[in-house]
Structure 1
Amino acid sequence: MKVVICLNTAWNLVNFRAGLIRALVAAGYEVAAVAPDDKYADGLKALGCRFVPLHMENGGTNPVQDAMLTWRFLRLFTHERPDVYLGYTVKPNVYGSLAAHIMGIPVINNIAGLGAVFIRGGLLVRVVRWLYRTALKRSAKVFFQNPDDRALFIEGGLVRAEVTELLPGSGIDLTRFVPVPLSSCAALNVSSRTRTGIQNASKSSIADQVRNDDSGSFRFLLISRMLRDKGVGEYVEAARQLRQRWSLAEFCLLGFLDVQNPAAISRAEMEAWVAEGVVNYLGVSDDVRTQIATADCVVLPSYREGTPRTLLEAAAMARPIITTDAVGCREVVDDGVNGYLCQVRDAKNLADKMEQMLRLSPDQRTEMGLRGRAKMEAEFDEQIVIDKYLAAIAQLTNRSRP
């Protein structure tokens, strides 16, 4: 039995679907991993699958290019003859599914978030809705990562309710993302004297103690593609407000710049923020664990998500979290328990929540992080996702056998 799994980048396959690919291979399936070729494609070989490059314009809306993409999918399926097609991200979900339906190949979709188009509205949303309705009409299973997106698709007539199911995001590998004590953070170089003082201080005096100690800093970290829809602008503005009172607080950003997206932050804009001294841009990383381990708090003020993987990773490593009370984000944080929820598109409210985090003692932040780890173990274990996929694929392949 052969499974084709397709995403919009090989990086996405390696970083977010490695566990599923390994599990499929271990279960005896031949796996063809399909994506545009990039420097991360070689990493797929170690997972036991075969990489098949497929060109697609991820940020484009040209109907001629999209028609050509459907044709490329048809050619791919004619050659591969898979028993099941797994689609992720918009274009593989839409054009890959359309081609698979034409070929009579069972389809399992994963709607991991609705992206910039659904956030902005307008004519393009109506076009995308029609494309989704057409593409998902004959899908055997459609997984959603939060109940809001699922309800939106069902109520909008984009998908049949009986084929839908919820997943805890992409899940998190709890053996790879493990708790790291805050006291071991390289960025938190506060002396033992100062750390003890902070633990024993009243909330009103904590800010002064941290400001006046030159031995270390408190590191906030935002991990995402550098898009306005991820709340990057609000994060930068919140950093401006906080640096006036917390001179040793550090505000870092990690993720891709200049992505193909209308909401992309330009390199020039990022360089201007760095030159201003308000944030520190860390570039990109093939292993975010090293950066999460140096953070005291992970922040994602996104406008809308499926279920943000970076927050799952941070919580699994016992980091307290600040994110928005928005679709997909609120599922990861129990407000005041393992982090704080802030208002969407509100830099001042975000700054207030970040200051609340700064005013906690190290013990309080540690406890908050450990509660986040417990939440990941109870609700977001990657094995939950893998088991649901294996069950769905087994059911489909049994049906398709002669």
Structure 2
Amino acid sequence: MKILYFVNISSFFNSHFLTLALRAKEEGYDIHLLVGDEDKKEEYESLGINYHAIPLTRDGTKLFSEIKAIYYIRNKILDIKPDILHCFTIKPILYAGLSNLFSKSNRSLNVYSVTGLGSASLSESFKGKLFWFFLLSLYKLAFIQKNTVGVFENEDDKLTFIKDKVLLDKNSFLVNGAGIDTKKYVPNENKLNSTNKEVLLVARMLKDKGIREFIEAAEILYKRKSNCKMSLVGDIDPENISSLSLNEINEAVKEGYVVYLGYQSDILSLYQNADVACLPSYREGLPKSLIEAASCGLPIITTDVPGCRQMVDNGKNGILVEVKNSLALANSIEFLLNNTDLLIDMGNNSRKIAVEKFDYKHVLNSFMNIYRIAKK
């Protein structure tokens, strides 16, 4: 049995779903990876994964290049003849779906993981809503084949696709993200108590991640002379129209509102030395950063939106705040940091939730059960 995984970039697959591929390999599957770069080729081939790099851009603005990519994808799928094709994120799903319309193969199952609906689903403008309608139409084409199932990370996204008749309920599954090694991401039992508590946000520096609201909340707390450290960790993404500029971040740093650490590879130690995890995002699939934080025993402050609300039992392991409300965010941070016993209790509850819901053994078993449909 062959599985072909299809992703945009290898770094995403490496951080989220490599463990899934290795588990499938242990189950006896022959693993192939179709990806838009060669960054991990040597490393993955040493793991016994067949690596296929393809010409795939992020923006998709050059029509001829995109048509060429779809044609290339079609030929690769026909050549590999996978029993299972598993695609992650918007572009791989849509391009694989379109390529399937113009080909026939012996593949028994298409698994399309919708890891979030993206910025397009959030737009309130006429142009933005029109583009979202266009994307939904493409999704319908991608899911039209009867041997196709959808995997979602939260109930809201799943219900959106069912309501808009992209797919049927019987063909949709919920899986708790990508999973995490809860034996690696553990609380720091030796962390020193400090009066200067740290609130940590780990994400790309995008408006949709609530970075501006975090900075505005940091400014409010700074002017209140609250004794806390507001830290940002993550890349600037100049290719994303939602990205903040480095100048905007540096201005907040210069004013003393936030600390900006940029991209960091050792997220574990950052969480183990922080006190609260924060992500005031506008919408998520299921944020891996908050799963990691929960596993490290941190209370969570996040927004009451799809994907984020799934991470918090409000008042038990964290606090949900209104989206795009910097004042509510600042007040919640201040309240939690001023109530040490509650902060500790919420952190302990986060750890329990992570172990019970997000550990690899649960998540990977969910994917294996979906794959077994192909064997029926």
Question: What TM-score do the two structures reach when normalised by structure 2?
Answer: 0.92
Q: Deviations over 1:314-364 (max 9, x none)?
A: 001101110000011101101111011111011011101111121111x43
Alignment RMSD, CA only? 1.9
Residues 254 and 379 (structure 1 numbering): CA distance in 2 closer, same or farther, change over 3 Å?
A: same
Q: Does 1:242 find its partner at 2:225?
A: no
Question: Partner amino acid for 2:132?
Answer: V
Q: 1:72 deviation in Å? A: 2.0
What corresponds to 1:390 in structure 2? 368
Q: 1:56 deviation in Å? A: 1.8
Asked if 2 retains the 8 angstrom alpha-carbon contact of 1:145 and 1:328, the reply is: yes
Asked if 2 retains the 8 angstrom alpha-carbon contact of 1:100 and 1:107, the reply is: no
Aligned residue pairs, count: 368
Unaligned residue ranges in structure 2 (runs of 5+): none
Q: Does 1:283 find its partner at 2:290?
A: no
- Give distance in 1, aligned partners of 2:8 and 2:289: 18
- Give distance in 1, aligned partners of 2:44 and 2:312: 32
Q: More deviation in 51-60 or 293-302?
A: 51-60
1:153-232 pair list within 5 angstroms: 153-181=161-189, 184=191, 190=194, 210=195, 217-232=196-211
Q: 1:40 deviation in Å? A: 4.9
Q: 1:225 deviation in Å? A: 1.2
1:205-354 pair list within 5 angstroms: 210=195, 217-246=196-225, 248-354=227-333
Q: Deviations over 1:198-235 (max 9, x none)?
A: xxxxxxxxxxxx4xxxxxx2111111111100000000
Asked if 2 retains the 8 angstrom alpha-carbon contact of 1:333 and 1:340, the reply is: yes
What corresponds to 1:116 in structure 2? 119
Task: Indicate the percent of aligned positions where both proteins have the same amino acid.
Answer: 30
- Give distance in 2, aligned partners of 1:68 and 1:309: 33
Asked if 2 retains the 8 angstrom alpha-carbon contact of 1:258 and 1:267, the reply is: no
Q: Which has the larger radius of gyration?
A: 1
- Give distance in 1, aligned partners of 2:184 and 2:292: 9
Residue in structure 1 matching 2:141, options 130, 134, 140: 134
- Give distance in 1, aligned partners of 2:250 and 2:191: 30
Q: More deviation in 49-58 or 225-234?
A: 49-58
* SS of alignment partner, residue 220 of structure 1: strand
Question: Partner amino acid for 1:381?
Answer: D
Residues 383 and 145 (structure 1 numbering): CA distance in 2 closer, same or farther, change over 3 Å?
A: same
Residues 260 and 242 (structure 1 numbering): CA distance in 2 closer, same or farther, change over 3 Å?
A: same
Q: Does 1:355 find its partner at 2:317?
A: no
Question: What TM-score do the two structures reach when normalised by structure 1?
Answer: 0.86
Q: 1:94 deviation in Å? A: 0.8
Unaligned residue ranges in structure 1 (runs of 5+): 191-209, 211-216
Q: Does 1:374 find its partner at 2:357?
A: no
Asked if 1 retains the 8 angstrom alpha-carbon contact of 2:116 and 2:157, the reply is: yes
Q: More deviation in 52-61 or 84-93?
A: 52-61
